[in-house]
C-alpha cells in the first residue's frame, strides 16, 4: 500500500471524517439548526468507527460483547443521525414516533444479538443491513425533499446516498457468501482506492448537505420576512380602518348631529339641509370606496369620483375637465387617498357654491422623486385676495397638513378664476 499501513489509512479516514463533521458545524453554527448538529454527530460517529478498526482496538471491539454493542450503536447511530437530519430539513416531524419505534427495534437487535452468543459474522451482517436500510430511507426522503422544494442538491444527495446503500449491502452479502465477516480485516484490507472513495463521498455528501441546509435556511428566512411584512401590512390596514371610522364618527357624525340640532331650533333652511346631505353622501362614498379597495390607485379613485360628480352636475351648466397623468403612479395608502380626495371634493364644492364657474378642470400627475401634483382650476369670479382664511380654506389647509403636503390657493389671473394646487408624496 505504497508504504502506508492499514492502520494509518484507517486513522486518515477517521481524521478526514472528523474534519468535515467539524467543518459543517463551524460553517452552519449560526443557522441554529438541529439538522446541522445531527449531521455533524453522524460524521464524528463515522470517524469513531474508523478509529475503532485501527490498531489493537479492533480485536477488543469485535471480541467483547460490550465492544460489539459500542460498535453497533456507533454505526447505526451515525446513520440514524443522518436520516434524522434530512427529516428535519424536510420538516417531517409528524413521523417521529414511527422513527423512534424503528430505532428502538434496531438498537434492541444490537444489544440482544451479541448477548445471545450469535456468531459475529451474522452480527456484522445485521449492522450492514440496518445501515443500508437507513441510508435507503434517507435517500428517499432527500429525493422527496428535492421534488417538493425543487432543489437539485437534494436530488443529487439522494442519488449518491442510494448508490452507497446498494454498494454497502452488496459488498457485505458477497463477503458473507464467502464465509467472511464484512468488518474483519481478513475480509479484505483497506486499499488506497477505498480510502479515496471515502474521501470523495464524504466531500460530496457534506458539500451537498451544506448547500441544501443553507438554501432551505435562506428560503425559511425569506418566508418569515414575507410573513412579517404581511402581518405589518394587515396591522397598518386595521389601524387605518379604525382611524377612518373614527374620522367618520367625529366628522360625518358630528355634521349630522349639528344639522339635526339646527333643524330642531329652526336655524337651517331647506336648501342648506339639502347641500349638507349632499356633501355627507359624497363624503360617505369616498370613505366606502377607500375602505373597500385597499390597493386602489389615485387614477381609479379620481375616475370613480368624477362619475359621481358628473351625475350631480348633470342638471347644471358646469363642466368638469380632466388632465390625469398617473399611469406609472404607485398605489396610495387608504388614509392618504381619502384625505387627498376630500381636498379635491371640498375645493370643487366651494367652487360650485361661490365661484359661479362654468368649467372646472381637475389635473393630477405623478413625478418620480417629488410625488403627486394636483390642481383644481375654475373660470369663475375668482377668490378675493384679501381673504386670508375662512372655514372652507382652513379645512383644506388642515387636510393638506395631515397628509404631509402643501396647499396653495390663488387667482388665475386678470380673467378671473381660482387655482388650488396640492402637492404631496
Instruction: Look up the domain containing 142 and give its range.
Output: 6-229
Q: What is the pLDDT of residue 277?
A: 79
By DSSP bridging, strand 319-325 and strand 359-367 are: parallel
- 142 pLDDT above the threshold of 70: yes
Q: Grid coordinates 400627475 are at which residue? A: 365
Q: Select from 172, 202, 229 the last residue of a domain.
A: 229
In contact, 201 and 164? CB cutoff 8 Å: yes
144 Cα distance to chain centroid = 22
- The end-to-end CA distance of the chain, in Å, is 77
CA–CA separation, 348 and 320 (whole Å): 10
pLDDT in tens, 336-371: 888 888 889 888 888 888 888 889 999 999 998 889
Total domain count, the chain:
2
- The three grid cell numbers given for residue 107, joined into one nine-digit string: 438498537
Model-wide pTM > 0.75: no
Q: Are residues 186 and 275 in the same domain?
A: no
The answer to whether residue 66 sits within a structural domain is yes
Q: Are residues 127 and 200 in the same domain?
A: yes
The answer to whether residue 246 sits within a structural domain is no
**CATH code of the domain containing 345:** 3.30.565.10
**Backbone φ, ψ for residue 410 (5° rounding):** -155, 165
pLDDT in tens, 152-196: 888 988 898 888 888 888 888 888 888 887 776 544 455 566 667
Q: What is the pLDDT of residue 92?
A: 65
Q: What is the pLDDT of residue 342?
A: 85
pLDDT in tens, 28-87: 777 677 888 888 888 887 777 777 776 666 666 667 777 778 778 888 888 888 888 888
The answer to whether residue 255 sits within a structural domain is no
Nearest residue to 14 via CA among 211, 182, 190: 190
Q: Are residues 169 and 25 in the same domain?
A: yes
| Partners of 324 in beta bridges | 364
Q: Are residues 57 and 187 in the same domain?
A: yes
pLDDT in tens, 88-141: 888 765 566 767 777 787 888 887 887 777 777 888 888 888 888 888 888 888
Q: What is the pLDDT of residue 364?
A: 94
- The three grid cell numbers given for residue 49, joined into one nine-digit string: 468507527
Q: Are residues 87 and 174 in the same domain?
A: yes
SS3 220: helix
In contact, 46 and 2? CB cutoff 8 Å: no
Q: Are residues 273 and 134 in the same domain?
A: no
Q: Are residues 90 and 149 in the same domain?
A: yes
Q: Are residues 54 and 126 in the same domain?
A: yes
Q: What is the pLDDT of residue 137?
A: 85
- The three grid cell numbers given for residue 402, joined into one nine-digit string: 395631515
- 254 pLDDT above the threshold of 50: yes
User: Which strands sit side by side in the sheet containing 406-411, from one edge to the other?
Assistant: 319-325, 359-367, 371-378, 418-424, 406-411
Amino acid at each position: 500500500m505504497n508504504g502506508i499501513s492499514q492502520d494509518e489509512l484507517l486513522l486518515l479516514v477517521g481524521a478526514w471524517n472528523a474534519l468535515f463533521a467539524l467543518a459543517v458545524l463551524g460553517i452552519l453554527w449560526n443557522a441554529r439548526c438541529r439538522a446541522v448538529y445531527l449531521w455533524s454527530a453522524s460524521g464524528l460517529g463515522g470517524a469513531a468507527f474508523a478509529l475503532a478498526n485501527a490498531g489493537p482496538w479492533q480485536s477488543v471491539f469485535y471480541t467483547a460483547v460490550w465492544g460489539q454493542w459500542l460498535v453497533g450503536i456507533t454505526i447505526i447511530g451515525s446513520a440514524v443521525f443522518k436520516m434524522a437530519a434530512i427529516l428535519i430539513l424536510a420538516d417531517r416531524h409528524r413521523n417521529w414516533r414511527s422513527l423512534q419505534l424503528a430505532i428502538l427495534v434496531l438498537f434492541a437487535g444490537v444489544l440482544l444479538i451479541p448477548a445471545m452468543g450469535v456468531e459475529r459474522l451474522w452480527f456484522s451482517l445485521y449492522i450492514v443491513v440496518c445501515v443500508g436500510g437507513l441510508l435507503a430511507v434517507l435517500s428517499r426522503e432527500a429525493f422527496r425533499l428535492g421534488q417538493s422544494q425543487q432543489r437539485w442538491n437534494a436530488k443529487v444527495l439522494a442519488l449518491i446516498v442510494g448508490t452507497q446503500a446498494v454498494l454497502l449491502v452488496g459488498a457485505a452479502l458477497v463477503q458473507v457468501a464467502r464465509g467472511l465477516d464484512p468488518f474483519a480485516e481478513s475480509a479484505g484490507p483497506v486499499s488506497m482506492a477505498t480510502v479515496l472513495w471515502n474521501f470523495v463521498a464524504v466531500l460530496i455528501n457534506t458539500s451537498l448537505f451544506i448547500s441544501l441546509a443553507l438554501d432551505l435556511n435562506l428560503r425559511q428566512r425569506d418566508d418569515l420576512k414575507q410573513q412579517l411584512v404581511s402581518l405589518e401590512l394587515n396591522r397598518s390596514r386595521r389601524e387605518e380602518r379604525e382611524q377612518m371610522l373614527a374620522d367618520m364618527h367625529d366628522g360625518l357624525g358630528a355634521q349630522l348631529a349639528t344639522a339635526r340640532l339646527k333643524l330642531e331650533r329652526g336655524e337651517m333652511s331647506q336648501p342648506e339641509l339639502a347641500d349638507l346631505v349632499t356633501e355627507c353622501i359624497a363624503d360617505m362614498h369616498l370613505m366606502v370606496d377607500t375602505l373597500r379597495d385597499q390597493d386602489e390607485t389615485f387614477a381609479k379613485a379620481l375616475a370613480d369620483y368624477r362619475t359621481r360628480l358628473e351625475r350631480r352636475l348633470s342638471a347644471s351648466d358646469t363642466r368638469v375637465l380632466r388632465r390625469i397623468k398617473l399611469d406609472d403612479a404607485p398605489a396610495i395608502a387608504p388614509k392618504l387617498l381619502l384625505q387627498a380626495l376630500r381636498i379635491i371634493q371640498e375645493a370643487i364644492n366651494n367652487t360650485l357654491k361661490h365661484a359661479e364657474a362654468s368649467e372646472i378642470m381637475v389635473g393630477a400627475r405623478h413625478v418620480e422623486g417629488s410625488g403627486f401634483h394636483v390642481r383644481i382650476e375654475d373660470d369663475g369670479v375668482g377668490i378675493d385676495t384679501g381673504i386670508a382664511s375662512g372655514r372652507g380654506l382652513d379645512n383644506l389647509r388642515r387636510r393638506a397638513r395631515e397628509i404631509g403636503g402643501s396647499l396653495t390657493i390663488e387667482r388665475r389671473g386678470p380673467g378671473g378664476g381660482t387655482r388650488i394646487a396640492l402637492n404631496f408624496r
